[in-house]
Structure 1
Amino acid sequence: MRILSSLAIALLWCCFLSPAHAQSFSCYPTNWWVGMTTNRVQLMIRNTGASIDIQKVSLQYPGVRVEKLHRTPNPHYLLLDLVIEPGAKAGNVPITLNSKGKSLTIQWPLHNRRGGNGKDYARGVGSEDFISLLITDRFANGDPANDRIPGMRDQSLNRDSIYHRHGGDFQGIINHLDYFRSLGVTALWLLPVQENNMPNRTEHGYAITDHYTIDPRFGGEAGYLKLGDSLRKHNMKLILDAVYNHMGLYHFLAQDPPAPDWLHQWPAFTQTNSREQTLFDPYAAPSEHKKMVNGWFVKEMPDFNHSNPFMATFLTQHLIWYVEKFGVDAIRVDTYTYNDPVFSNACNEQLLREFPRLTLFGESKVNGVLNQAYYTQNNLDLPFKSNMPGTLDFQCLQNGIIPALMEPVGWMSGVYKLYNTLSQDMVYKNPMNNVLLLDSHDDNRFFSEVKEDVRKHEIAFQWLLTCRGIPQMYYGSEVLMKGLNNPDGWLRQDFPGGWEGDKKNAFTGEGLNADERRVQQLVQQLGRYRLGSSALKKGKMMHYVPENGVYAYFRYDDNQTVMCIMNTSEHKQAIDFRKYTERVNGFQQATNVITNEKLALDQAAEIPAMKMWVLELSR
């Protein structure tokens, strides 16, 4: 929790509370800015030491006024609706709380905005980007001094345990930004960075215990600001992992809620049924719908009640605060299908009103393309229409590239499933906003998924970096990190070279075997090629029905045409370029962008078994 004195919020005088109680006041949001489109702010004042017995609130500051005061059933809280007029100036806003002739004045900071909305921050990510997903605790330790923080519940520090903390931090990431650039990566998505003061399993960050505090074991607020500044200097972007379905059990809103209805309450612990169909199934029982949205993930993660307007405002404001405070460029929303859809739309709308170029994409781990499309902007004629611009494209993973490489070639199996999934893109308003992935912190490492077949792993990366949408790589997959989701800790091991004394170092290449180096070099080559490829970044896509396990698709625009051919069979296959006349007509030659091998388009070619070519066509 952030104490007001640490934010230069002075408690000037207090007679109706003891000095000890006075020092326990906190405000959320901890500050705001002048010139914001969101100029109405609901300020939560919390006192953990005693009740807030207030008869009157007064505020004397040009351009700022109190519109309404809300009392909560829990007397530790007071909610103030503030209006910040367009002409207001930056400064400390004195808010005086009056009780029985005595008063307390709080200085609440009002800052100038950072410049460059949509240009220098809140820039969004698009198909021109290449995202890398990181677990901060498991990537690199740049500052061992913050590995343990006195007073925090989880004091574990043991790299030999998949469940303990390992010491990675923001400085470790900053130290290796050149490595990401060598891969062609343009944006970093970090798992949640907010305080996670839980007793154990804090490496993932999804059990937030204070929305306005950056976890000090990562480097705190100063470290996160430094990371954002460093990314901008490298022409890279910052993606925030937002969690507004649930929080950690030790969050003050769980331990001391303003009112019981800020959380979803059940007579006994009730877990979500995780069935997204209940939100749109015309035959769904209302009780099943309720269990999906209102049920808790686990006992340690209480579920927010988005239909409570105060709770909804708290969550929306904190996201706006993060974008403006830290210069966030895009937001990935965790467990998006479990959130109240009406709240989600309202939150998205307010974020995009404040930051028009900001990008949002949700985690919609569902069953089928139609189900996935329901949770993003789509062309479906339904009573509810999502305004979420993009989604993590689990369908192209689970019903696409995995069966393409792991199932035998058949009429309805193998690579045909990838073709079939992509052919359903007509349901999305803009499928280029979908984020493609091979693996993540919750999914099997792709190298393990394909039974450690390097050939298949190479095909998958070539597909990831050439198909429509926004490619996202999970840290370490480029050097064949392994792990099955049994349990999930095996998916979240340390990046080789991130700790002093590591025998294997992916940053320098020391200790990597031949396969690891080869795949890493493949990603570096294709990732950097993609940076300069207009067709792969923004071009249209055309594909052909697979035959004999061979799937061909083109990315093209007025300036460039790239042909991608994958042979998913265990036999070499003949390629007759004349079959693809709509796209090869007028071109004479194809150059393999990885090997630089030249192929004449008027001659037949032969692609080896389990191989992919990425070819740039020339006249």
Structure 2
Amino acid sequence: MKRLIFSVIIILATLNAFSADIKLERVEPMFWWAGMKSPSLQLMVYGENISSADVSLEYPGVELVSASKVQNPNYLFVDLKLAEDVLPGKFDIQFKKDGKLVEEYNYELKARKNGSAEREGFNNSDVIYLITPDRFVNGNPNNDQVEGMKEKPNRKDRNGRHGGDLRGIINSLDYLQNLGFTAVWLNPVLENNMTQVSYHGYSITDFYRVDARYGSNEEYVELNRELDKRGMKLIMDMIFNHCGSEHWWMEDLPMADWLNNYPDYKITTHRRTVNQDPHVSEADRDAMTKGWFVPTMPDLNQKNPFVPTYLIQNSIWWVEYAGLEGIRQDTWPYPDKDMMAVWTERVLEEYPNFNIVGEEWSLNPAIVSYWQKGKINTDGYHCSLPCLMDFPLQDAVSRSLSEDEGWETGLVKLYEALANDFLYADPENLVVFPDNHDMSRMYKQLGEDKDLLKMALAYFLTIRGIPQIYYGTEVLMTHEGDEDGDIRAEFPGGWADHKVNAFTGEGLSADQKDMQRYLANIQNWRKNKAVIHYGKLMHFVPEDGVYTFFRYDEDETVMVVLNKNIEDKTLSTKRFEEITKGFSSGKDIISSTEIPDLSEIQVPAKSAMIIELK
């Protein structure tokens, strides 16, 4: 019945299109840039009966290729071809009916900033700080409630909006820099004008607008300017799989197949292995990739050729507009995988040194590695995705530090996890992390044991890959409940009524202050350590609750020791001679302790040592 109603509405709209007024409401992308590598630009033009208008423009180096009418007469998809030497400037796109001008849009091709195409993406030299913006710092209480935004602030509701914003993050950058972080990843900041539970950002209702309760597009650009001043980078969280159920186009879709399973939605099976399964049925594949993530997140149909073009251009627009240094792509295996391969190619065509990390939440490294650039898959699939989230390693660290030691349990899980690196085309380009916004905090996973958390952090900050730390880890943030709203709690000091302030130290316990110092010490040391960024890795099978690995290059060797035992251990280094030969002493950078004799090392109970060998 719903499909019939939708079809009738489209038919009636089409019949009335030639007699009704024409009104232009949106052009997306709103502007573009001269000098992009791809000459193609497709504009989504939206407005009442806009398809009944004839489109024209005149500007040197800009060719109007086509204006495609679709099922809904309120849309036109205008294809332009930009000459390689087209100059920045403005021109009018005219919409005429019976030769009479009825609407026009002043379009602009902006000049690209010098070096824009060569920008350096986040890499192994970085440590990323992950922030849930609504829960970090309320820098501007005046935007907590904004006219026209459906959900109002409610700090008493763990799933409500609490008021954190971009201004709060900008005001906190010195704190992050002093802790040694070099990159910031924000959970999505684009408009989520949903009736409820909109704080997380993953139900986008406008792909070109920052949510007004966070600030503005201009403030987002300001954030990255401030990061650039500090030599720090900005990573944007993007979602191609779905939009929010209250997105502006949901009341007037371009065409019936803009979404999958519309209007009678089906929830995805979440069986992500359909992408790799050589025996998969089409029915099972469709049930996963075409299903809605949840009822409030309609599934975008990337098989419709207009959808991928819209999404690809949107991501490039944000990279260029905001000066991004990275993208984190949500729910990587859920969209059409061929489209995702094309997307990575297009982004890296424009920005060859850029980095993109995909979220494939699987504990099986064979599944995760399938997507990485350079991976040779038996089904012939290849993608240009440079980086993935290393969920298998996160799970291994959590289990290894929680379990009793045994032949197949405890620290051996760390060894075995890294032994699977042969599956990856580029294991160094993985984001490694103790936790994130979707899981219980590592401090909680480890039974709120501060010493075990220190060991985990020392490991993630020295192992291969790009470390990411979730906000509040540095002050031992934890939670009683395990719902998302509990995990994503307010950062202490982020609101005027907080009695504990992580920025000033007021009200922090001795353990919390100690953890801040511990993290800052390692991370600021790490900043200038090429051996940790790009050095080779050699590790040794754990023995007696002690795991040892080395990072080394031509100039330096660093030894990392994890002692899980509840008593101090005397570690003989004889079995490590193949890499320690020629070194006689060292210095533990965590405790600043000199080690005059490297033949035996006293390792404190439940601790990590990071030893620069001499």
Q: Secondary structure at the match of 1:336?
A: coil
SS of alignment partner, residue 165 of structure 1: coil
Aligned mates of 1:526, 1:483 — CA distance in 2: 26
2:557 corresponds in structure 1 to 561
Matched, 1:588 2:584: yes
Give 3-state SS (helix, strand or coil) of 1:606's partner.
strand
Would the aligned equivalents of 1:53 and 1:99 in 2 still touch at CA under 8 Å?
A: no
Q: How does 1:274-423 map to 2 (within 5 A)?
A: 274-377=270-373, 379-383=375-379, 384-398=381-395, 400-423=396-419
Q: Which residue of structure 1 aligns with residue 12 of structure 2?
A: none
Shift of 1:280: 1.3
Describe the superposition over 1:97-126 as per-residue Cα deviations: whole angstroms up to 9, x where unpaired. 22223223221122111222255xx42011
**Cα RMSD over matched residues?**
1.6
Partners of 2:344 and 2:383 within 8 A in 1 = no
User: Could you tell me which residue of structure 1 aligns to residue 122 of structure 2?
Assistant: 125
What does 1:244-255 correspond to in 2, within 5 Å? 244-255=240-251
User: How big is the shift at 1:380?
Assistant: 4.0
CA contact (8 A) 1:445 1:484 kept: no
Displacement of 1:148: 1.0
Find the aligned partners of 2:263 and 2:208 in 1 and give their Cα distance: 30
How far apart in 2 are the matches of 1:540 and 1:243? 34
Q: Helix, strand or coil for the counterpart of 1:544?
A: strand
Q: Secondary structure at the match of 2:400?
A: helix
Cα distance in 1, alignment partners of residues 334 and 512 from structure 2: 38
The partner residue of 1:78 within 69, 76, 79 is 76
Residues in 1 aligned to 2:372 and 2:143: alpha-carbon distance in whole angstroms: 39
Partner of 1:164: 160
Distance, in Å, in 2 between the alignment partners of 1:523 and 1:516 is: 11
- Give the match's secondary structure for 1:345: helix
Name the SS for the 1:115 alignment partner.
Answer: coil
Q: Deviations over 1:552-574 (max 9, x none)?
A: 00111122211001012334333
**Mapped contact 1:443–1:484 kept (Cα < 8 A):** no
1:417-461 Cα shifts (integer Å, max 9, x gaps): 111011111111111110001111101011111110111011011
Q: 1:390 to 1:324 in 2, by over 3 A?
A: same
State whether structure 2 residue 267 is matched by structure 1 residue 271.
yes
Shift of the 454–53 alpha-carbon distance from structure 1 to 2, 3 Å rule, reads closer
Aligned to 2:601: 605
Aligned residues: 595
Structure-2 separation of matches of 1:95 and 1:279: 42
CA distance in 2, matches of 1:82, 1:378: 33
Shift in Å, 1:17: 6.5
Instruction: Confirm or deny: 8 A CA contact 2:375 2:382 kept in the other structure.
Output: no
Q: AA paired with 2:76?
A: L
The residue that corresponds to 1:5 in the other structure is none
Change (3 A) 1:143 1:16: farther
Preserved CA contact (<8 Å) 1:377 1:428: no
Q: Tell me whether 1:262 sits opposite 2:254 in the alignment.
A: no
Rounded Cα–Cα distance in structure 2 between residues aligned with 1:178 and 1:582: 43
> Which residue of 2 is the match for residue 34 of structure 1?
34
For 1:196-254, what per-residue CA distance to the aligned partner results, in whole angstroms no more than 9, with x for missing partners? Answer: 10011111100000001111111111111110111111111010101000000111233
SS at 1:69's partner residue?
strand
TM-score (norm 2): 0.94
Secondary structure at 2:66's aligned position in 1? strand
Alignment deviations for residues 292-317 of structure 1 (CA, whole Å, 9 cap, x no partner): 11111111000011111100100000
1:500 is matched by which residue type in structure 2? A
8 A contact 1:94–1:105 mirrored in 2 = yes
How much has 1:59 moved relative to structure 2?
1.1
Q: 1:225 to 1:379 in 2, by over 3 A?
A: closer
- Distance 1:267-1:60 versus aligned 2 partners, 3 A rule: closer
Q: Please tell me the residue identity of whatever aligns with 2:54.
A: K
User: What is the distance in 1 between the residues matched to 2:197 and 2:226?
Assistant: 29
Runs of 5+ consecutive residues of structure 1 not aligned to the other structure:
1-14
CA contact (8 A) 2:205 2:248 kept: yes
Q: For residue 510 of structure 1, what is the amino acid of its counterpart?
A: E
User: Displacement of 1:408 after TM fit?
Assistant: 1.0
Give secondary structure in 2 for the equivalent of 1:575. Answer: strand
In the alignment, structure 2 segments of 5+ residues that lack a partner are 1-17
- Equivalent pair of 2:549/2:559 in contact (CA under 8 Å): yes
1:415 to 1:485, Cα distance in 2 relative to 1, 3 A? farther
Q: Deviations over 1:132-168 (max 9, x none)?
A: 000111111111111111111111x232321111111
Question: 232, 239, 262: which is aligned to 1:243?
Answer: 239
Query: After superposition, what is the alpha-carbon deviation per residue over 1:523-578, rounded to whole angstroms, capped at 9, x for unaligned?
Result: 00000000121211221111011111211001111222110010123343330012
Are 1:188 and 2:187 an aligned pair?
no
Q: Provide the C-alpha distance between the structure 2 equivalents of 1:511 and 1:137, rounded to a whole number of angstroms.
A: 22
CA contact (8 A) 2:160 2:197 kept: yes
Q: In terms of mean alpha carbon deviation, does 479-488 or 74-83 score higher?
A: 479-488
Give, as a single letter, the amino acid of the residue that structure 2 aligns with 1:131: I
1:560-617 superposed Cα distances (whole Å, 9 cap, x missing partner):
2110010123343330012111221111112110111122344423323322111111
Does the aligned pair in 2 maintain the 1:359–1:389 contact within 8 Å? yes
Contact 1:249–1:255 at 8 Å: present in 2 too? no
Mapping for residues 214-229 of structure 1, pairs under 5 Å: 214-229=210-225
Q: Distance in 1 between matches of 2:290 and 2:190?
A: 23
- 2:105 matched to 1:106? yes
Query: Which amino acid is the alignment partner of residue 55 of structure 2?
Result: V
CA distance in 2, matches of 1:79, 1:394: 40
User: Which one-letter code corresponds to 1:94 in the other structure?
Assistant: D
1:574 alignment partner, SS class = strand
Q: Which residue of structure 2 lines up, in the alignment, with residue 9 of structure 1?
A: none
Deviation of the 1:195 alpha carbon: 0.8
Determine the structure 1 residue equivalent to 2:437.
441
AA in 2 matched with 1:78: L
Which residue number corresponds to residue 12 of structure 1? none
Alignment of structure 1 residues 57-72 onto 2, 5 Å: 57-72=55-70
How far apart, in 1, do the equivalents of 2:97 and 2:610 lie?
A: 73
Paired residues of 2:134 and 2:162 also in contact (CA < 8 A): yes
Letter in 2 for 1:386: C
Higher alpha-carbon deviation: 220-229 or 259-268: 259-268
Distance change (3 Å), C-alpha of 1:588 and 1:320 = same
Q: Secondary structure at the match of 2:79?
A: strand
**Equivalent position of 1:6 in the other structure:** none
